[in-house]
Structure formats: C-alpha cells, structure tokens
Amino acid sequence: MSNRLPLLLRQLSHQQLPSGPACRLRKLCSSSSSSSRGDDPDGRRLQDDQAFSIPVPGSLEASGTDSIVREVIHNSKEVLSLLQEKNPAFKPVLAVIQAGDDNSMQEINQNLAKKAGLDITHICLPPDSGEDEIVDEILKINEDPRVHGLALQISEDSLSNKVLEALKPEKDVDGVTDVNLGKLARGNAPECFVSPLARAVVELVEKSGITLDGKKVLVVGARGPLEAALQYLFQRKGSMTMSSPWATPQLQGKLQEADIVILGSPKPEEIPAAWIPSGATVLNCFHDILSGKLRGGSPGVPAANGLITEEDVSLLAAALRIQNMISSGRRWLREQQHRRWRLHCLKLQPLSPVPSDIEISRRQTPKAVDVLAKEIGLLADEIEIYGKTKAKVRLSLLERLKDQKDGKYVLVAGITPTPLGEGKSTVTIGLVQALTAHLNVNSFACLRQPSQGPTFGVKGGAAGGGYAQVIPMEEFNLHLTGDIHAITAANNLLAAAIDTRILHESTQTDKALYNRLVPLVNGVREFSEIQLSRLKKLGINKTDPSTLTEEEVRKFARLNIDPSTITWQRVLDTNDRFLRKITIGQGSTEKEYSRQAQFDIAVASEIMAVLALTDSLADMKERLGRMVVASDKDGQPVTAEDLGVTGALTVLMKDAIKPNLMQTLEGTPVFVHAGPFANIAHGNSSVLADKVALKLVGEEGFVTAGVPLKKEYTEENIQLVADGCCNLQKQIQIAQLFGVPVVVALNVFKTDTRAEIDLVCELAKRAGAFDAVPCYHWSIGGKGSVDLARAVREAANKRSRFQFLYDVQLPIVEKIRTIAQAVYGAKDIELSPEAQSKIDRYTQQGFGNLPICMAKTHLSLSHEPDKKGVPRDFILPISDVRASIGAGFIYPLVGTVRLVSLPASLLPPEQVKGGRVGTILIIWARDLRRSVCSLSGRKDR
C-alpha cells in the first residue's frame, strides 16, 4: 500500500487524460422516471455491470469523455481500496443537498459513487426553500462525522454568502468556499478542493487538441466561485482570461477577440448568435448543470464545433467530484491517525529568585484552548469550550481513535509525604514540559482536580509550582468546569432520596406508597424501565401494574431500609469540622425520624470514585445504579437503583464525565479530571482522561498521570539524608512487586548540595531503580527535567513484567493481609468486631471478589503517623471495612483514619490505575532534608 498509494494520489491530482479529441457523450438519462423503469430506448442507462455506456463500434466516442471518466473513477476506486486495506470500516459518504424537484442528476451521482465504492445520501428540500433552511441542513452535515463531503444542488441565486460561510471547507468537495478558492489562488491546489466543474471545462478543452498557452479565454455570464475557479485554472495554463456579464456594451468586441468562450449562463435571446465567432471553441458551463439540470444548448450557439457538449462537462465534473470525495476521506483518515503534534510551545523566561506561583502563572499568556485542541489532533466538534482557556473533550473521540495504538503510560507517585505536600504535580508537569517542549515528544499530563478543602487549607492548590504548573492557576484550583459541584448535587440528591423513602414508608400504607411510585398518568398506570428492573430483581415477572398481588405490591413498594446501616453521607467541598457529626430530621414534620449523620468532603463521595473509574456514560450509569447505600432489615443490600434515582444521577453527571483540557506554562496539554479522595479510593485522575490522552499522543507518545525550616533542613547533612533513604528504598521495592520499572526523580531545592543529591541517586540505583535523576523544573521549567524525560523514555522501552499483588478471588481477609504484609511490612492484621461483621456481610451479599483499597494514614507505612522510616513486624489494626460497590472496591479503615479531610496521600500500589500493564512508576523526594528527616524518624523538626 505504501508504495502504490502515493503514485495513485499523484495521478488523481494531476490526471493525465487520454490524448486525442474529446467526443460527444451520449445522454445517459433523459429523466428520473424513465431511468427508474429501466426502459431507456437507447440503452443509455448506467448498468450495474458496466461503468458507462458502451460506445458504438467504430465511433469516435470510444476514446472520448467515456474513457476519461472511466479512468478517473477507476483510479478513485483503487485509492479507496488501498485506504480500506488498513481501515476496513472506512467508507466515505457524500451528502448532496438539493433544493428543487429535478432529479435528473441523481442517478449519475449514485452510479458513479457506487462504482467508486462510496455511499451517497440526498437531502431533498422544497424548491422554495430559503437560505436559513439550507444553512440548517449544512450545519447538521458539518457536525456529522460519518459524512466526508457535501455538494450543493441549489440555484445560483441561493448560493449566498451566508450559505457559503456555513459550509465547512474540509467537506466542500465542490470547491466553492472562500478557504478553498483562496488556496487555489495562492497556488496551493494540492491542499484544497478545486471546482470539479471548472476543472472539467479546462481539461476537456485541453484534450480537444487546443493549446491553451497564449489563448484568449472569455468567461461570459458566470458569477461567484465558478467564475473565480475558471479564471485561476485557465491563467495557470498560460491563457489570457477575461470575464464579462451578458449585459455590457463591450461584449461583442470581447467575443470577437476570444479564442475560447465559456458560457456560465444561458445566452439571452437579445444577444445575436453572430457575435460569437464560428471559429471559437464554445462550452456551455451553466451552474444549473451542477444543480442537476441538464439543459439543451444555448439558443443559436454552436456546440463547440461539435466536439464538447454540456453533457460532457457535466459527467466529467461528477466524476471529479467523486475524486475530491476520495481526497476528503483520505485527509479525514490522516487526521485520525497519530502524527507528531505541530505544537506551538510557549517560551519561558525564568527569573531568579523564583517568584511566587501566582506571579509566574499571571505572567504567562496561555494559548486559546481551541488552538491547543487543534494542535493535538482534536476536531472542532470534539470539544466544548468553557471560556478562553479550558474545554471539555467529548467521548466520541474514543470511537474515532479506537484503532489508534496507545502511548506509554507513566505513573508519578511519591514517598511518604511531608506536611506541605510532596510535589507530585510539579514533577508531572516538569516531565511533560521536558518531553514535549524540549524533546519534541507527544506527551500529556493527567492530573486530579483539586478539592476546595485543601485549596483553602495549609496545603494549597494542586496546579504544580514554580515554572512547572498548569495555567491559569485560578481556573485550575477553583470550580474549573463545575465537576465537583455536579458530584455534590448528585450525592446529596441520593442522600435526600434515602431519608425521604424511609419517611414515606414509615407514614403510608402499601397501597398509598404504590400509588405514589406508579401514579396514574392520563388514566394509564405504567412501570418505568428502572421499576421493571426492580421487579425482575425481586423475581416478579409482570409488566402490568394492575396485576400485582398485595404481597407483590408490598415487596415492590417497600425497601425496609435499616437506618443503622446507612453508609451514604451528605457531602460538601469544604473542610468544615463542625459538620463531621450532625443530627438530621429536626423539622416539625420529620422530628420522629431524626438520626445521627455526617458530612464528608465532596471528593470522598463514591460518585467521585465512579467518575474516576468509568469508561463510558453507559458504564457510569450502571456503576451509579449498583452503589450500595444501606442494608434492609433482612440484611440485603439497598442500591441507588432500588431507590429509582439512577437516571437522575446520570443526568447530573452527564457533562462531568468529559475530561477537562488545559495547558502547562509551556503550552503543552493537560487533562484535569476527577479527584477521588486518596485515602479511600485510588487517588488518581480519571481512567477516561488517561484513555483519551493515550490515544492522542500516539504509540510513541507519553501520558503521565508554609512553615519556617530549621538549619537541619538548610545545611548539608549526609548522615540525615542516608538515614531517610530507607523509606525511598522500600517504595522502590513496593513498585517492583508489580513488575514495573522504576525511575526516581529527585525534586531538587536550592539548599540541596551535590553530595546529598549524588548519595540519594546512588542509593536509589542500589535499591533497584532503573535510574535516578535530579530535576530542576521548579526553577527553570521543562528544560530542567530533560534528563528525567530521557530516562523515562528509555525505561518505557524496556519490557514490562507486570503482575497483580493478589488474586481477587481470595477472601477479603486474605487480600487485606497480603497488602499489609507485602506492602506495609506488617506481621499480621487485627480485625475489630465491626470490621469482621462488615466483612461477613459483604461476603454474604456477594461482594467478596472485589479488590481492596486501604484507607490509612499517608504519613507512615504503618497505621501510626509517627512511625517513620520502614517499620517492621507490627500488627495492622483494621477498625472498620466499607464498600464502594458501584465504583468497584472495598476499603478497610486502618487505625483511626478520618474520611472528612483531604491530606496528601501515597497512592496504594494495588490500585495503580487498575494495574495497567506497562506502567512506569516514578518515585521522588521533594526537599531532600525535609523529606528524609521526616522519613528517618528524627524528632528535632
């Protein structure tokens, strides 16, 4: 394919037509009615087993327009076949918008398309359709990814500026838009669509034996795009081109001087035929031919010395339009395939000393997000713009790129953190800035959306820092596109539904409750789809609400929720300690049903975990439906589906599921999406953002998901650094349990010395790291992480030996014990009575085969924050066990961990993006002395 396709494409672009005079083409169809009956008396219809009408033996037609058209279609079909070898599902579609009832050209279009292997669809509008109706249809086709070309069969009067401006240049196979005409005028014909009608005229004149160089060509009565295209094409052939309307005093003189006359509209009766010299070559090129109207010759005008007719022009134009369609489809395919981004990176001018993060952010002017989207291969209809600097990406992209090979996946995690965070975001951004802006490698950063809680707390935002951050910082840290607010709304809707259902079931009879759930609407009572699902779950195989027995009505209407088992809490995106325990139901109408409850932070909602793990809208709806919120009085799980709110939750989340596109300080792309609570979920950005980014970067690209310091942290202390590296060595060993290569990125601060840096790198390599690299992205941007980028690229080319930590079919207790012993270094686990009870319940309910995500302090490998370094042989206490059934995991609570705030956290290795094969784990230290002192257990902090 690679050897043959370029040759064929060159042939299509510069079609070498058969030599010799062009011949008069027989009329292929006289009317749509006779053609449809198959009773053309002259046998001139295009048959299924032949491309065109067969010439009469011995006639000149055998080498005329028939053979020219046949060759164009044959080559077009061959190119399409070659394109389909690697893209079997690809079949270009030509849409034709027709305003009128003359269908004489439809069969020609359909037969040519069929012979070439294209699909064609006609949109027929009434003859009196206005420009607004035509524009509406154009806009629909513009947004239809199945259609690769659009032709307009409308009158010349309807071809207004508004209509032309509505047409997408990339689908304009008739070459009538300003963009295509402008490229043609600049001599950039290979990158534009040239008018098939104008090209047919020029090529037929040329092949009639006329040399165009030096000839005088007069285009009469043509307007707009056709007139412009004819002038450009003839001028390129060396002709002197003139253009004139019919109503001009100089017309006779111009006609007498012309060697070639192109009639762009019918000759008016008042113009004498004698004005047109008999020796001139005359072609009829009426726009109505393009519109589907085959006219007879212009009255009194010689038919180009009997050589070329309007039917010749019409048929060749139709074939060349098919050729343009193939080119359009090829360009579309090329856009779908991976290519190195043509990214305009933003320049950095680092200052010393380094200013504050907000100052750095505000000094850089980001690119418009639609420009960034185009640079990385997103189509205009695949983004939804929010302001100037952020946009949501539609999931239709995944279908378009389904055959595209994924890039390489790099996970950035951290060693046991310091009180002010470790800088995972900063390292991630520095790495992708280095890869894309300095090594010219496609790379995407995928980050979590920060919660408002830590943003306004001591930890601050999560946009990175220094000269390695996402911009604009304010947009990143506050609200973004409202995803967290959507989660808050959905979560609290479900919470309200739980308590409301308990209230109604406690105050109403079975019949009254049933009538509320299945009300009469216009005298008819019907089950909804979600109610039919509940009936099926209950073993009731009925669809008529009037046929249920009293017992079936009771089972259907009552969930019998046990209030003491409710696990679903209300949420708020603020660290408000006074809402950690509350009493609800204090209103006068609910006071008898009050109970103890609490608020969690919004990102701790299971809906956030669902958002981060889902891979489609349908999958998200299914996960939301199976979220367990409580148990009934018989010990069976109660789900959101049972409450009948799955559809409502999905509607609230329909926009939040789309990843958010932003950029780094150096103009490289970033996805900011989801932000599940790190202590009870996987703590990473969304799987969807990862999947989209992996497609966009291509096979060779990469996706990488204030206290004063004492002198111990600002002066060289080799022993302190050596003592703290034991934790780093343990983290490397943890990553190696999963069989993935490890690169250590040392996030260098200005107080770190060369001796300390060299020591950490040496100890990391001894512990089994593939490489250990100091990084300076905070102070100088991506340039400071080029060595890291090279190390990551080299490690990514090594063969991965990925393996899971445990078999998910093991009992819950054994999976917890495996993590405690293999990852944390514990001797064993100790289950509280409540934890054991929950494990027994989840096992009995059929949830025992779910994976485990440990909820524990992030400040130590053990359950005690003060136990630094690498604690060994301790007993890990499991105080409680909870479940995120919809998201798909169980999370044990270790020790006294709280779920109402959002500290920085070590990503549990067993939840590395679901264990995606080929992951590279990057472990790093932030400020050497602050990190290692924390890790070594020193108390002099």
Residues taking part in catalysis: 424, 426, 448, 459, 678, 702, 749, 778
C-alpha span between 467 and 463 (Å, rounded) = 11
Nearest to 913 by CA among 692, 685, 676, 736: 685
- Distances from the Cα of 737 to the Cα of 671, 683, 730, angstroms: 29, 20, 11
Q: Are strands 570-572 and 599-601 parallel, antiparallel or unpaired?
A: parallel
C-alpha span between 695 and 408 (Å, rounded) = 10
C-alpha span between 244 and 172 (Å, rounded) = 26
Contact 573, 603 (CB under 8 A): yes
Where residue 683 falls (left for φ over 0; alpha for ψ -120 to 50; beta otherwise) is left
Paired tokens of 519: 């009300």
Ordered DSSP codes for 24-92? PPPPS-S-HHHHHHT--TT--SPPTT-SSPPPPTTSGGGGSHHHHHHHHHHHHHHHHHHHHHH-TT---
Question: What order do you get walking across the sheet with 260-263 strand by strand?
Answer: 240-244, 216-220, 260-263, 281-284
Backbone angles phi, psi at 747, to 5 degrees: -80, 95
Q: Are strands 637-639 and 383-386 parallel, antiparallel or unpaired?
A: unpaired
Length of the chain: 941
* Burial category of 761 from C-beta neighbours within 10 Å (exposed 0-12, middle 13-18, buried 19 and up): middle
Strand blocks (E) in 613-694: 628-631, 637-639, 660-664, 669-672
Distance of CA 437 to the CA centre of its chain: 22
Ordered DSSP codes for 224-277? HHHHHHHHHHHHHTT-EEEEE-SS-TTHHHHHHH-SEEEESSPPPTTS-GGGS-
Please list, residue by residue across 529-544, b when 16 or more beta carbons sit within 10 angstroms of its beta carbon and e when fewer do: ebbebbbeeeebeeee
Q: Quick one: CA torsion of 789, 791, 792, 795, rounded to 10 degrees?
A: 160
C-alpha span between 23 and 777 (Å, rounded) = 71
Beta bridge partners of 244: 220
Sign of CA dihedral 81, 84, 89, 95: negative
Please list, residue by residue across 287-305, b when 16 or more beta carbons sit within 10 angstroms of its beta carbon and e when fewer do: bbbbbbbbeebbeebbbbe
**Amino acid at position 612, single letter:** A
C-alpha span between 852 and 848 (Å, rounded) = 10
Beta bridge partners of 97: 123, 152
Residue 775, helix vs strand vs coil: strand
Ordered DSSP codes for 853-913? --B--SS-SSSSTT--S---S-EEEEEEEEEETTTTEEEEEETT--SSS----PPPGGGST
Backbone angles phi, psi at 714, to 5 degrees: -115, -5
C-alpha span between 682 and 887 (Å, rounded) = 10
Contact 311, 291 (CB under 8 A): no
Strand blocks (E) in 175-224: 216-220
Q: Which residue, chain included where needed, has tokens 């060779």?
A: 700
Sign of CA dihedral 560, 561, 562, 563: negative
Q: Which residue, chain included where needed, has tokens 């798909």?
A: 888
